[in-house]
Structure 1
Amino acid sequence: MHFTVLGAGAMGLRYGVLLQEAGNQVDFVDTWAPHVARMQQQGGVYVSRDHRDRHLVPVNVTTPEAYRGNPDVWVVFTKQMQLTDFLKRTAHAFNDQQYVLTCMNGMGHVEKLLQYFKPQKLLAGTALVATVLNGPGDVDFIGARGAGTMNLANYTEQPDEMTHRIVTELEKCQFNPTLTTNFRGTLLAKVVFNSVVNTLCTLFEITMGEFAAYPGADELSRQLIDEAYDVCERDGVTMLNTRAAELESVNYVSKVANPLHYPSMYQDMSHNRPTEVDYINGYLVKLGAKYNYQAKTHAFLTHLVHLAETTRQAQAATTSATATAAETA
């Protein structure tokens, strides 16, 4: 099968490299010029697993404007705030025969993808898989092979033959996919998970394991999970897990699967990049407001993340200005 990964960041590279190793033809498309240039210059991407066994994996990567392939399936892994630009720049390569699979964080991407792909050819889901992009052309897969899990569903909630073929390829990669027929419940399960772990680990600059080791972690998690479930239930969403099972998932991933991992939101914050908090905690706040429900804890955390972003960016600007003044003195 022919896959093209749109967004060759940490997760895009993990999915693409493993799909390629499973015998598929895989292309990569990205907009970060230094990243694309480095991979083209070195003939691929350097891949490590848990900081070990760093080796070069050949990949075919290009910019959106230069891409001329015709894949069976697009695998989309961009940041929420970057997706519109990615899609516009790559639209010349889309057609109505292609399928699209995405496991992006947050909510808001489905509506954008439906502007380019047929509803019956859209699959979306969640991935509990940890990966870090160390820098241009250098990625680190966190966790043993086969340690992660994922859920996915058709937008129409009616799996077809192609859906099952895609699931088979994901199984070969040991992503442990579970195909559901609950589209919104599947997506919101990861939103709830991220609204706890991503946000709190980012604010306190700690790993998932460090969060889980805090004696009051369960109480914090329950408060956020309960509030999120209150919102989703008001919107008529049938969640995949019970509230108790969602807490168990948070604890298992944080304590067992990826205790040493810093979530993707932390990675963005630490590099002074905008976070996706508005598409995670902020999304739950807006959804609750539709039903006159105030998700106050999620609103508070959303503001705290933006305050941290603003503070870090101001500090970075001051440091840069001081360095420039010193150089010219």
Structure 2
Amino acid sequence: MAINVDQDVRLRPFDGSVADYALLVAIGNAVFPDNLETVEQVQHWDARRPAHCIQERWFAEVHGEVVGVAEYFQPQWMYHPRKFFVSIAVLPTWQGQGIGRYCYDVLMGDLQSRHHPLQVRANCREDQERGMQFLARRGFREEMRTWESRLDLHTFDPAPFRAAIDRVVAQGFTICNLRELLTRLPDARQRLYRAAMEMRADVPQPEPFTPPDFASWEQSLFNDPTLYPEGYFLALDGEEIAALSQLWKSAEPDVLMTGLTATRRAYRKRGLAMALKVHALTFAQAAGYREVRTYNATTNRSMLQINDVLGFVKQPAWVEFVKDLDSV
């Protein structure tokens, strides 16, 4: 149906109801059908956002029918009071009619008038040509890329990689999962927080990492609906956490997502990341999962090399764009 954007499109605020969350997830899943989300996941991500991180979200409607969503927000993992992410998604059947442009103009007008941003960022997958061109035309420049990679567990053979685990064990390390860690050590949560914050700070991203406080981190982790304690693995040096590799549940019941795989600085170059990856994949395969997915910055060569050796197959990259603004 042809529309007059300026007359037929309106934005209404997202109201936080279950019905609006269902609409939000339906739009995201229609735009990215191979990266599905659930209402429970998005509600958790919203609930964990600290009060100082601004978020505004609207639905685009045409004659009362919801056809897209637009939002801006400040990410807690690299917070800056005047830097924001923007996101616009329009249902595939409504694309190409100027709805995205309308959403962008309203969104940016609101953002600039209320918050005077220095920069805005946006993500787009490289195979979505319409989105890539949309951002380029509006003055966004490419800042970094992240590959999604997938491993088919039906064809994965862990046998050639078991020596990686043996080498780590021979050095005196032990491997346990998160549930076992919590049972073993009374201060396990505090130890995990310290180790995770150190490792997370070294993950490639365009701005410095801003760590959450312990209480926020604890609530976020242990209330996460995708947490899979049996698939969250740690390498221990005695009682000290040396490295970790996380598997998380996903919206697809036979697919697991890799979270952080990392080694603390004092323990690097000892094969821990490879050993934990092999251990995690062996576990996932034995548990009957079909596939494991992971995301890595294209500059993270050491982790990409491990994934390549294990047989992960790269998918189209996610491109992060940035736009500098003249706000004062």
TM-score, L = length of structure 2: 0.31
Higher RCO (Cα < 8 Å, 6 or more apart): 2
Instruction: Give the greater-gyration-radius structure (CA).
Output: 2
TM-score, L = length of structure 1: 0.31
Q: Greater strand percent: which structure? A: 2
Q: Greater helix percent: which structure? A: 1
